[in-house]
Amino acid sequence: MGVIYMNVIILLVLFWAILFAFLTQKKQGCVAGCSADGLAHMTFSMPLFLLSFALLGLMCFFCKSGFDMPTYVEFYSTWSFSDLSSASIEPGNKVLFIFLRMFIKNPYVGIGMVKLLSIGMVYIALYLIRDRINIGLAITSYVLLLYIFNFHLIRMMLALGIVFLAFAKEITGKSMQCFIFLLVAFAFHYSSIIVLFAYMCYMISRKNFTVLKTVLVIGLMAVFYVNIEKIVGGLVSNVGLFQKYASYSGASVGSFGFAQIILFVPTLIILIRGYCEDKDKNFYKLSFFLGIMTFFAGSLGYVYKVVGRTVYYFYFFFISYGAATPLMKNDIVLRCGKLRINLSTFALLLYLAMQFYICYINGRYFVTNGLTEYIFIWES
């Protein structure tokens, strides 16, 4: 089969996946069904939702492109239960790969199933909070911010799917299940420990949520930021679980970037407008911490490379709370001719556009990660 360039097939499939996601929900009029508080409900089409998932999932399942794929094939083919004692790779991945190999001998098919599982958990998380968000905007955010990583960051994306499920459980009032899912995520990627840290900060200030308490928590994070090199350096040097990240520990990618401040502006707009809306306090409290952590994790990535990718876990803020912005009734409406858009929704779209440019256009992500060509799993 001739060469199929990744960016071409991604654009085609993603267009339809996003379109089906937007068609998943349809607003009902108050005659058809409003709750006692007068809020209009959204009808939900499960077939269209599953079709959107199928497009994203199968495109990832049938692809074996990426520089990391040979390493995962080796892991899948050679890992045994005797390897569980080694701390070099998280035990959750080993157990999952060994279990899948009992039924699926082809490593590409087995790894494809892991990719499907990762994407599937994100869709389940969005389904759990479907009444609070715009599904189309949520899937668009996921596609532009995170989807491409499923092709090669397989272990981290699996942990990310579990983290997203945890956050969805917290939003729906199931804190214990959230905590359990976060512990499970740690078993699949040790970097998710930063999510446990953020969640503990969230739990401390969840009750009696005040500006003062928020400032104190931000101050704590600032102290963490100032001492990041000592903290992370100590972890990768002295704690066995994190020693595999030692190769990244000396690799700072520069000083704090002004770009992070620019990127934080849309986040700040969404948080301020959400506070004024005040429709779902639990949702807002969790989203506040996720929004703040996107800034801190992104900023720390400039100083300490090993921390950079942890920002992906906190992108749930944009995929969930950001996707709730069209449902805000009291938001500022921007008008340009016949076009009308909420200020918060505009801020989200601006953030997505900036991240897409930084990662995919300016950063040449496809080239640097071996994803310029779409190679099917049956091709040599």
More confident residue, 199 or 82: 199
* Total count of domains within the chain: 1
Report the 10 Å Cβ neighbour count for 290: 26
Residue 123 forms part of a structural domain? yes
Residue 211 forms part of a structural domain? yes
Residues 72 and 154: beta-carbon distance below 8 Å: yes
Residue 380 forms part of a structural domain? no
Alpha carbon distances (Å) from 79 to 28, 71, 72, 99, 191: 52, 12, 10, 10, 21
Residue 373 forms part of a structural domain? no
Residue 377 forms part of a structural domain? no
pLDDT band at 219 (very low <50, low <70, confident <90, very high): low
**What average pLDDT does range 218-238 have in this prediction?**
54
Check the CA dihedral 345-134-155-84 and report its sign: positive
Average pLDDT, the chain: 80
Check the CA dihedral 60-62-64-68 and report its sign: positive
38-47, 152-161, 195-204, 240-249 — most confident range? 152-161
Q: Is the pLDDT of residue 319 over 70?
A: yes
pLDDT band at 19 (very low <50, low <70, confident <90, very high): very high
* Residue 342 backbone phi and psi in degrees, to 5: -65, 145
Find the domain containing 99 and state its range: 6-368
Per-residue pLDDT reduced to its tens digit, 144-160: 999 999 999 999 999 99
Q: Is the pLDDT of residue 107 over 60?
A: yes
Report the 10 Å Cβ neighbour count for 73: 16
| Least reliable range by pLDDT among 52-61, 106-115, 239-248 | 239-248
Q: What is the DSSP letter of 150?
A: G
What pLDDT is stored for residue 197 in this prediction?
82
pLDDT band at 366 (very low <50, low <70, confident <90, very high): confident
Residue 43 forms part of a structural domain? yes
Residue 1 forms part of a structural domain? no
Residue 196 forms part of a structural domain? yes
